[in-house]
Structure formats: C-alpha cells, structure tokens
Amino acid sequence: MNKLFTKLLFMLMLVAGTSFQLLAQDRTISGTVKDASGTGIPGINVLEKGTTNGTVTDGDGKFSLSVKSGALLMFTAVGYKAQEIEVGARTSFDINMEEDVALLQDVVVVGYGEQEKKDVTGAITTISSKDFNAGVISSPEQLIQGRAAGVQITQTSGEPGAAVNIRIRGTSSVRANNNPLYVVDGVPLAGNETQAGGQDFGLGTSAARNPLNFLNPGDIANIEILKDASATAIYGSRGANGVVMITTKKGTQGKGVLDYSYALSFSSITKKYDVLGRDAYLNAYESFNGATARQNQDGGANTDWQNEIFRTGITHSHNLSFGGGDKSTNYLFSLGYLDQQGIIEESAMKRFSVRFNGSKKFMNDKLTIGAQLSIADTRDDNVPVTQNSGFEGDLIANAIKLNPTLPIFDVRDVDGDNNTTEFTQIRIQLHFWLYPKTLPILLEL
C-alpha cells in the first residue's frame, strides 16, 4: 500500500513539473507597429521588460519575438511616446504609436529653415526669453549681453541708440568688418549701421547707430548664435564673423490673450570731474597772467558746466500685444513704444513699432501660408559727443575746461541787443597757417 501511494505521489509530481515547464517555456509572438495614419513604422524598439531580449520593427513596421508567458513588452522610439503591453495569452499584436509632440519640436533654426538638434554639428548658443536680461532693454543685443559663452558684447558709447559691438569669432576679418550677420525670422539683414556716424568738423566723429534699433526687444522669443565655420557654409562670406539669428514671438493655440507691460528706469552719471570753481579758477589764472588778465577773464558768474549738460535720464517702455490661434491658425499683433533719455541734455531715442506675425494651414496641414509685417519709426536726438575729438574736445571735454565765471545767460547784454534772457554766445578763435607759416588766417565762430 505504501509503495502504491509513493508511486502515485511521484507521478503527480512529475505531471505538475511538466505542466510548469510548459507554462514557463518561450513562445513566439508577432505583430505590426503603426502610426496615426495606419502606416507601419520601421525602427521601433520592441523589448521584453527586465531582460535584454528584444528586436526592431522592419521596413513595414512588423516584428517577431520569442518571449516567456506573462512577459511585459516595451515599445520605444525617438519621436514617439513609449508604450508597455502585457503579452498574456495573445500571440498577435497590432500597436498604434503616438507622436511625442514636445520631443519633435526640439529643433534648431539653422540657415533659412530648421533641422533636428541631432543633425546640427556646429557650435550653437541658444538663449530663450526666460533667460533674457531683465530691466529696461532698448536694443536686442542687451537681452543676451553676458549670457552667451564666448560671445563678447560691448556698447560703443552710452548714447541712446548707439551701436553695439558683437564679437563671435575674434576681431580679424578679411572684410575689414567684424560684425556678425543678423537674421530676423529667416530674413538676413545687411548688418550695416542704420545711420552713419556724425561728420568731423574739427571736433571728431560721433558713434554710428545700432542696426537693430528698429526691432522691439519685447517682440523677441529667442536668439541663437552660430559660432563656427558651419555658418559660412550656410550663408557664404556674409557669415564669416558668425550669425545672430533672432526669432520673434508668435501666437499660441487658444483664446486670444491681451498682454501689457510697462518699465521705468532712471540713469545718471556716476561721478563728475572735480574741477576748479569760480574763486580757485580766477586765482590760478591771476597767478599765471596777472591781475589785469583776471579782471578780463571774470564773467561775473559761478557756473558748474557739468551740472548744466548732465541730467537724470528717464526711460519709459510700453509693450502691448494680442495673440491666439487654433490648430491651423496663429496670430500675434504687438505695439511697442520706447522713450529713452540720455544723461546729457537733449540726447534721446524714441521708437514706435508695430508688428504682426500670422500663419494659416491648408490642405490637411500640407500647405502653410504665413505673413510677417514690421513697421518702426525710430528718432535719434544726437549731441556733439565724439570718439576722436583730439585736443579741441567735444561737448563733455569743453564743459570740463570751460571758464566757470561765464554766465549761462547774457545778463550783461554783452552783444548790445537789449536782451538779457538769451544764452551767452561764446566766441571761439581758430588759427590756421598756410604753409609756409607766413599767412595767418583767423576764423571766429
């Protein structure tokens, strides 16, 4: 009896072991991976989770794989959302993959179009709006000043609207010009100054103007800088000094959104030059030229000429935009106004800008028509502050060395016109000699 029971128990254990082995053994499954249109997707990774067992779909999106019962399949690919599916008792699968829109939009603007980031081999620096410099910004370059590694951005002067030097690939150029090529929404600009520097009438030349003064910084979405020789391959010799690519804002999907921003700033000179006042000036003049000369030099006033030309500059910036869109349309209208006062009296820049960006998709999103319109009215108020004035000096230099005893207004009626409320007219004598120095010429201004 015991022997019979033992044999039965042994047979039961043998049958159970065989069944478990049958359940645990591999079996072959197959299927097709398709996109939203029903087309097979090649190159999709099919992996049994927790193992190295996997395969890749063929050109028609089909796959075949030997897996264990109860396995969990993972379907992954660049540009598609990952999926996990239990095998269960099935042997045939029909998988629909969904595009990962956020990942597909990770592209880089190059040249006149766009490429995926993995396809771009050149050195590119991208600064988006969230990384822009804050504060009152009058020109686009100030948004990224100090934000782009290896890119030197300096202003030629503190005058409102003055040019900005951008050095991407050093300071040597076969074209005698180190400025980069500017591309705004795919449209290349010449990169020349919008207004040349002032002419030299003996007091030096003034700084040139910024070529991007027409562009409202509030309209910019991001700025990309192409640094290396790949820029030359795209744009030719114009990109030899690098390329600054500016992309403006566009409407986003959803109801129309009205946005307004205002900024206010104040600017003033950090420190004035410490020059002689009335008494110290007259005493010094007398020590060199005598008492009679002192009397002739004394204009009867005590004027700080630096106080007369410097001021606290106030800058106002207004930006108003309205934009929106749906799956096939986007639009954005924007208005901008900038009133920037310089720290020198009468120096200023005013800009009024209007911009429209819009696009519409047709024929099941196969055709896109877009429009971009930009209008700007920029007005510069220049003062005679120059870069190479020499010993004659410009406005600031003459304010530092001008006689502090001269009155601002002609209170003594020196010109005899019975008007003591007009400005004092200062006579300047310039001496010239024809070569050889035998015939002097005196010019009075």
Q: Are 156 and 197 in contact (CB under 8 A)?
A: no
- In-domain check, residue 413: no
pLDDT of res. 382:
80
Across the chain, how many H-helices and E-strands are there?
8, 23
pLDDT of res. 4:
55
Same domain as 169, residue 141: yes
pLDDT of res. 125:
81
CATH code, 84: 2.60.40.1120
> How confident is residue 284, by pLDDT bands cut at 50, 70 and 90?
very high
What's the DSSP call for residue 288? H
Same domain as 57, residue 122: no
Q: Which of 332, 183, 320, 313 is closest to 253 using CA atoms? A: 332
pLDDT in tens, 226-278: 887 666 677 777 788 888 889 999 998 888 999 999 999 999 999 999 999 99
Rounded to whole angstroms, the Cα distance separating 206 from 209 reads 9
| Residues whose CB falls within 8 Å of the CB of residue 234, separated by 6 or more in sequence, listed in order | 110, 111, 112, 226, 243
Same domain as 368, residue 241: yes
- Inform me whether the pLDDT recorded for 16 exceeds 80: no
pLDDT of res. 20:
41
Largest Cα–Cα distance of the chain, in whole Å?
Answer: 150
- In-domain check, residue 299: no
- How many domains does the structure of the chain reveal? 2
Same domain as 235, residue 153: yes
Range of the domain at 136: 107-267+312-381
Higher pLDDT, 223 or 52: 223
- In-domain check, residue 20: yes
Give me the count of residues in the chain: 445
Q: Are 246 and 223 in contact (CB under 8 A)?
A: yes
| Cα-based distances in Å from 77 to 37, 107, 116 | 17, 17, 15
- In-domain check, residue 347: yes
Same domain as 87, residue 56: yes
- In-domain check, residue 146: yes
Backbone CA torsion sign across 146, 152, 153, 158: positive
Q: What is the mean pLDDT of residues 415-435?
A: 59
- Inform me whether the pLDDT recorded for 101 exceeds 70: no
Q: Tokens for 137?
A: 């910004």
Same domain as 55, residue 9: yes
Rounded to whole angstroms, the Cα distance separating 241 from 228 reads 9
Same domain as 249, residue 121: yes
pLDDT of res. 443:
40
Same domain as 118, residue 162: yes
Q: What is the mean pLDDT of residues 102-123?
A: 54
- Pairing mode of beta strands 181-184, 243-248: parallel
Percent of the chain with pLDDT over 90: 25
- Inform me whether the pLDDT recorded for 438 exceeds 50: no
Higher pLDDT, 310 or 435: 310
Same domain as 359, residue 260: yes
- Pairing mode of beta strands 26-34, 92-96: parallel
Same domain as 174, residue 93: no
pLDDT of res. 77:
86
Higher pLDDT, 322 or 230: 322
Q: Tokens for 191?
A: 């990169």
Radius of gyration of the chain (CA): 38
pLDDT in tens, 151-181: 888 877 778 887 778 888 777 655 556 778 8
- In-domain check, residue 420: no
CATH code, 235: 2.170.130.10
Same domain as 211, residue 339: yes
Q: What is the mean pLDDT of residues 216-233?
A: 83
> How confident is residue 102, by pLDDT bands cut at 50, 70 and 90?
low
- In-domain check, residue 295: no
Backbone CA torsion sign across 278, 283, 287, 290: positive
- Inform me whether the pLDDT recorded for 432 exceeds 60: no
Q: Are 349 and 147 in contact (CB under 8 A)?
A: no
Same domain as 215, residue 83: no
pLDDT of res. 445:
40
pLDDT of res. 203:
65
Can you say how many angstroms the Cα of residue 261 is from the centroid of all Cα atoms in its chain? Answer: 18
Q: For residue 78, which amino acid is it? A: V
Q: Tokens for 253?
A: 């999907």
Q: Are 280 and 237 in contact (CB under 8 A)?
A: no
Higher pLDDT, 431 or 415: 415
pLDDT of res. 243:
86
Q: Tokens for 50?
A: 């927790």
Kindly report the CA angle at 89 between 88 and 94, in degrees rounded to 5? 80
Task: Please state which of the ranges 51-65, 118-132, 302-316 shows the lowest mean pLDDT.
Answer: 118-132
Last residue of a domain, one of 356, 381, 406: 381
Q: Are 336 and 351 in contact (CB under 8 A)?
A: yes
pLDDT in tens, 340-379: 999 999 899 999 999 999 999 998 888 989 999 999 998 8
- In-domain check, residue 302: no
pLDDT of res. 6:
56
Last residue of a domain, one of 82, 102, 122: 102
Higher pLDDT, 109 or 18: 109
- Average pLDDT across the chain, whole number: 79
Q: Which of 344, 266, 265 is closest to 307 using CA atoms? A: 344
| Residues whose CB falls within 8 Å of the CB of residue 440, separated by 6 or more in sequence, listed in order | 431, 432, 433
* Candidate ranges 5-14, 19-28, 182-191; pick with highest mean pLDDT: 182-191
> How confident is residue 115, by pLDDT bands cut at 50, 70 and 90?
low
Last residue of a domain, one of 66, 85, 102: 102
Q: What is the mean pLDDT of residues 167-196?
A: 71
- Inform me whether the pLDDT recorded for 426 exceeds 70: no
